[in-house]
Structure 1
Amino acid sequence: MTEIAGIDPSAAPSGTGCLECEEVHGWWFHLRRCAQCGHIGCCDSSPAQHATAHWRATGHPLVQSFEPGEDWFWNYATNALFQGGPALTPPTEHPPTQPVPGPSERVPRDWTSRLHS
């Protein structure tokens, strides 16, 4: 596999949930993994949008979905989806037992009205 700038396959994920949401006992919809440093952040549909905030703070433009069964990459700098990047260090998805949205005990009943479109 050819090396891709902005992807470090050896960077381990920061955890199984959004790093910042965990710190404040928040919740998320879907998760994204920074392909450069392994930071796990919540997607743009999530209330806090921490994956995009991580890109803006660090300049790390590439993320991979951290959802079970998904392996696509997104480039924030170009607004482009792409497939076929290198395999990242496991785990490559949150545990299948972890609910979406999650964590279940923190998701408000009106969660669908709190999502960004």
Structure 2
Amino acid sequence: MRDFNRLKNRITIYTKDDGGYMPGGDEYTEYYSCYANIDNVWLKDLEIAKTNNTLNDVTVTIREPGKTVNIDNTMYFTVDNDDTKKFNIKSVQPDFTDNRFSVLIGEAVTS
């Protein structure tokens, strides 16, 4: 069972605009913001992460946002205390141990 007190980091999720083609790249707007628990790759899993090419992945647990919020793998998120780092959402799934939460797998965007 997870604890709501562990949701200490605020994240903001961004979605691609539907405004058509804009020169200069894709435009994103803020879609959803919430508190989250963020887990990096554990030291004991470091070698496995290297072989799986998942070294830059983070696991983010958020409170289940409900049916009105549809998070998918076309979006990215930032951690509000460090919005210079972006994480592409690779996967969204329910937390099978506690249905009050959802789990996002994010991959750090490297430039």
Q: TM-score, normalised by structure 1?
A: 0.23
The structure in which a higher percent of residues are strand is: 2
Bigger CA radius of gyration: 2
The structure in which a higher percent of residues are helix is: 1
Q: TM-score, normalised by structure 2?
A: 0.23
